[in-house]
């Protein structure tokens, strides 16, 4: 695999963020925050009749993208910010770009900028990742 700074990582698409997954994740995490399952609570915050995706679910979309590109177990570091909410029904695209390639201890690594895109808004999640290249 030939990787160079400036290369784009193939997109990973979540066609529609589903509220059922949010409810399931809230139960697994024992997260009592009603924004993940109560549309009225979210509407009171000014986001309309939606539910808000948990941060770990949004992060998982970028992890899926990196795993499909560089393989399972390739992620060495990931740092994220969560500047905006991902809402149910959103079409989300995980994107990335290689910012550097280096060798360390006989292995090759790619440093990357990664983010989620949603049409018409700034990225709801963005960050950086380091992956071991195959």
> Left if phi > 0, otherwise alpha if psi is -120 to 50, otherwise beta: which for 48?
left
Contact between 133 and 1 under an 8 Å Cβ cutoff? The reply is yes
Tell me whether residue 78 is in a domain: yes
| Residues 6 or more apart in contact with residue 4 via CB below 8 angstroms | 98, 101
For the domain that residue 90 is a member of, what is the CATH number? 3.10.129.10
Tell me whether residue 43 is in a domain: no
Q: Mean pLDDT, to the nearest integer, of 115-127?
A: 93
Tell me whether residue 44 is in a domain: no
What is the 8-class DSSP label of residue 61? H
Name the average pLDDT for the chain. 94
| Residues 6 or more apart in contact with residue 20 via CB below 8 angstroms | none
Q: Mean pLDDT, to the nearest integer, of 102-107?
A: 95
Closest CA to 3 of 110, 105, 107: 110
pTM of the model: 0.91
Confidence band, pLDDT 50/70/90 cuts, at residue 53: very high
Tell me whether residue 26 is in a domain: no
Tell me whether residue 27 is in a domain: no
Instruction: For residue range 20-41, list pLDDT tens digits in order.
Output: 988 888 889 898 899 998 999 9
Range of the structural domain that residue 82 is part of: 8-18+54-132
Whether residue 1 is predicted with pLDDT greater than 90 in this model: the reply is: no
Tell me whether residue 1 is in a domain: no
- The residues that bridge with 8 in the sheet, in sequence order, are 97
Whether residue 16 is predicted with pLDDT greater than 80 in this model: the reply is: yes
pLDDT of residue 120: 84
Report how many domains make up the chain.
Answer: 1
Tell me whether residue 65 is in a domain: yes
pLDDT of residue 63: 97
Tell me whether residue 30 is in a domain: no
Confidence band, pLDDT 50/70/90 cuts, at residue 8: very high
């Amino acid at each position: 695999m030939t990787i160079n700074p400036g290369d784009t990582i193939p997109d990973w698409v979540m066609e529609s963020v589903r509220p059922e997954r949010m409810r399931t994740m809230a139960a697994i995490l024992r997260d009592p925050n009603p924004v993940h399952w109560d549309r009225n609570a979210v509407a009171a915050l000014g986001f309309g009749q939606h539910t808000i995706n948990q941060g770990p679910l949004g992060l998982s979309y970028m992890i899926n993208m990196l795993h499909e590109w560089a393989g399972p177990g390739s992620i060495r570091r990931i740092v994220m910010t969560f500047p905006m909410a991902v809402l149910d029904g959103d079409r989300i695209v995980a994107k990335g770009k290689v910012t550097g390639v280096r060798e360390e201890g006989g292995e090759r690594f790619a440093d990357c900028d990664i983010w989620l895109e949603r049409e018409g808004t700034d990225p709801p999640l963005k960050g950086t990742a380091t992956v071991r290249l195959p």
